[in-house]
Chain A
Amino acid sequence: MKIAIASGKGGTGKTTVSASLVHVWPRPVVAVDLDVEEPNLHLFLKPDINRTVPAYLEIPAANEDKCTRCRACADLCQFKAITVIADTLLLSPEMCHGCGGCLAVCPEGALTPSRRQLGDVSMGTVGERDFIMGRLRVGEAMSPPLMRVVKSYLDGLCDGRDVDIIIDAPPGVSCPAVSAVMDSDLIVLVTEPTPFGNYDLQLAYRAFSELGIPMTVVINRDGIGDDSVDVFCRRKNLPVLARIPYLEEIARGYANGRIVADTSAHLSQMFADMGGRLSELRAARGEVSNA
């Protein structure tokens, strides 16, 4: 089972939930931090990193002498990463999304593959559990290509093993968030019960509904705000998986870099129950989709 922990709004508690679920998970599990722009799951899980590898994107390099300024590449590239301006071939490497289209269409062989570093991928262990994370290079704007590299290492790690996967996804509802959750079996939307939390929950619900992946909601800081999230969840038939109370001991634990599920027996039990309900949800949805 692959579970993505996501949210429309940032700062709702994705990492708190991810770290705690990994901590109490009863089966073999890989913890994945796909919030590559600002990964922080490692701050809580404190993995032993045993391997860090650079991740690259293939981009074009030009041989100006071979280029006839035919514009085949310029007409293809939607991002202006390669264009011809007044007889000048202009490359903007940081704009390139790495589709390889220009290399394919150049009739003169004037373009050759080069690369841009996206960031790096780190792998390690947390006790018996595996850990993997991506970290975007400072200055790099595109996180989905790096996330694809992280996922390819994840595939290698999971190959042939019966292992669950818990993904700490980036916030929001744009390309990075969709890239992180799109191939999961279940999406957990972490929100807070405020008008702001509810608004961004609705955005996430609408964006991720297109994927056809079952979703469930965790209400963090339960007790503050209003009932708008509950009203929305009832209206959309979105199961509320758990409510994490608004407690000083949770904030205190988080601020000290602790796994919330590790701070007290009742919080540990709360996350264990959450994990159990996730498995039930998955089983129930599985039967429906297999029927």
Chain B
Amino acid sequence: MTTIAITSEGPTLEDALDPRFGRAAGFIIADPDTMEYRYVDNGTAQAMAQAAGIQAAETVAGTGAKTVLTGYVGPKAFNALSAVGIQVAQNLENITVREAIERYRQGNLELADTPNWVGRGR
């Protein structure tokens, strides 16, 4: 069984995919074969002044997910995800979590080898 994490603005499959990774509202942790899922809140990372991406990567790693579907991943978060072998599909926006999972199931997503967002945070 594979588990994937989708950045989500809410706790259901019909919620919008949250294009932000580090500051996403939360993650839908789903099994794309059975469509079983659960929601993990990302409040801890959202509240951090900095390093939200690293915290979010830690949260995702803790769920056992091996792939993340999201919009924008900064370099530090990308580095953290890579370090623990989690793959990233990025550039997703204006779709629901369910649509993102469908695209994953169809193999219609490219896995990234570099982050697509250079953060300016400090």
User: Which A residues lie at the B interface, using CB under 8 A?
Assistant: 79-81, 83, 85-86, 88, 90, 92, 94-95, 141-142
Given A83-B58, A92-B76, A95-B51, 5 new contacts (CB under 8 A):
A80-B48, A85-B61, A94-B76, A95-B54, A141-B121
B5-32 to A contact mask, C-beta < 8 Å, 1/0: 0000000000000000000000000000
Query: Which listed residue (B48, B79, B121) contacts A92, Cβ 8 A?
Result: B79
Residues B84 and A88 in contact, CB atoms below 8 Å apart: yes
Q: Decide yes or no whether B80 CB sits under 8 A from chain A.
A: yes
Q: Decide yes or no whether B50 CB sits under 8 A from chain A.
A: yes
Least CB distance, A57 to chain B, in whole angstroms: 14
Known: A80-B51, A95-B50, A141-B122. A86 touches B61 (CB 8 A): yes
Least CB distance, A282 to chain B, in whole angstroms: 34
Q: Decide yes or no whether B1 CB sits under 8 A from chain A.
A: no
**Residue in B closest to A77 when the chains form the complex, CB atoms:** B51
Least CB distance, A249 to chain B, in whole angstroms: 38
Residues B80 and A85 in contact, CB atoms below 8 Å apart: yes
Known: A92-B76, A141-B122. A85 touches B51 (CB 8 A): no
Please, which residues of chain A bring their CB within 8 A of the CB of B76? 92, 94-95
Residues B122 and A85 in contact, CB atoms below 8 Å apart: no
Least CB distance, B4 to chain A, in whole angstroms: 16
Known: A141-B122, A142-B122. A88 touches B83 (CB 8 A): yes
How far is A86 from B54 in the complex, measured between Cα atoms in Å?
Answer: 12
Query: Which listed residue (B80, B121, B122) contacts A90, Cβ 8 A?
Result: B80
**Residue in B closest to A87 when the chains form the complex, CB atoms:** B84
Please, which residues of chain B bring their CB within 8 A of the CB of A90? 54, 79-80, 83-84
Interface centre among A83, A90, A94 (most CB of B within 10 A): A90
Known: A80-B55, A141-B122. A85 touches B50 (CB 8 A): no
